[in-house]
Amino acid sequence: MRSPSLPLRPLTVGELLDAAMEVTRGAGRVLLPVAFGLAVLEQLAMVWIRENFFDGSVFPWIGEIVGPAWLGVALGTGMESAVIALVGVPSARAVAATAVGVPFRARDLLRPRGIGSAALLVLVTFLVTFTLTLLPLGWLPAYPLMGLTVAALVIDGVGPLRAIGRGVKMVLRSGARAAAIRLLGYFAWLLLRLGFGFGAASALDLVGVSGPWATAACFALVNTMAYANLASLDAVLHLETRIRTEGLDIALTRLPGALTPGHLVVSR
């Protein structure tokens, strides 16, 4: 795989987004198939949610989601956050290898070690996002809150419980800078996803292919790229927050010999 570029210094917002795209491209042979498989499963569930909560509508108006239908919104946002968290496992491994200049292979990113702890964090991410989204405007703090926990687990080498606490702290550091950037990345991709999803569905409708499954297929395709990139952004953002607030870049330059991802592990 092509090694992406990841400067070990505090980055601007634009540089963070560029670095996330670099990671997505460099590890795309792993990240995109994983994201695609999860996006397909998500859309299978979303077809059922749309039929049962939104009368088949893909993007219902605000008046149509007041009341019991809001449960469908919460389920959808919870699944979305869980998918990004799960894709975050290989993306965090790619970022860790990139940060220390170590080439990585597909099997390095997909190794099963630690998958149980990661699955626990994915479940917690779903539950937290789902529960907070049930509250008025609850999604706004819910989405960024758990975003860096998987990166803390994989890159920092901490246990799942500590990863939750550390991930939340990292999101809230520097005036919740990471939370704001995570929301920025999400909304940027949301516009692209809606534009491509509805545009592709309309194009298919012109040739006689329509219905909930055609729409789901269009959104699965665009969500594949979105989820892979958002997961990469989380991992890059976590590492950059450590550089900005913990002096990780300085600590790495003082280490003798070749660096490895193990040098990114925090003290127990």
Give the model's confidence band at 2: pLDDT under 50 very low, under 70 low, under 90 confident, else very high.
low
Query: Cα dist. 139→67, 170, 183, 250 in Å?
Result: 16, 19, 10, 36
When pLDDT is cut at 50, 70 and 90, the band that residue 257 belongs to is confident
**Three-state SS string across 192-229, please?**
HHHHHHHHHHHHHHHCCCCCHHHHHHHHHHHHHHHHHH
Residue 260: per-residue pLDDT = 86
Output the pTM of the full model. 0.93
pLDDT digits over 99-143, tens only? Answer: 888 888 888 899 988 899 999 999 999 999 999 999 988 999 999
CA 241 to chain centroid: 16
Q: Is residue 40 part of a domain?
A: yes
In a domain, 102, yes or no: yes
Domain count, the chain: 1
- Residue 152 has which token pair? 């803390």
pLDDT band at 266 (very low <50, low <70, confident <90, very high): confident
Percentage above 70 pLDDT, the chain = 96
66 in any annotated domain: yes
Residue numbers of the domain that contains 183: 13-251
Provide the CA 79 distance to its chain's centre, in angstroms. 11
Higher-pLDDT residue of 145 and 62 is: 145
Is 8 inside a domain boundary? no
Q: Let me know: does 151 contact 92? Beta carbons within 8 Å.
A: yes
pLDDT digits (tens, 9 = 90+) for 75-98: 999 999 999 999 999 999 999 999
pLDDT the model gives residue 27? 93
Q: Could you tell me which of 111, 88, 68, 118 has the C-alpha nearest to residue 20? A: 88
Residue 92 lies in a domain: yes
On whether residue 43 sits in a domain, the answer given is yes
pLDDT at residue 66, as a whole number:
74
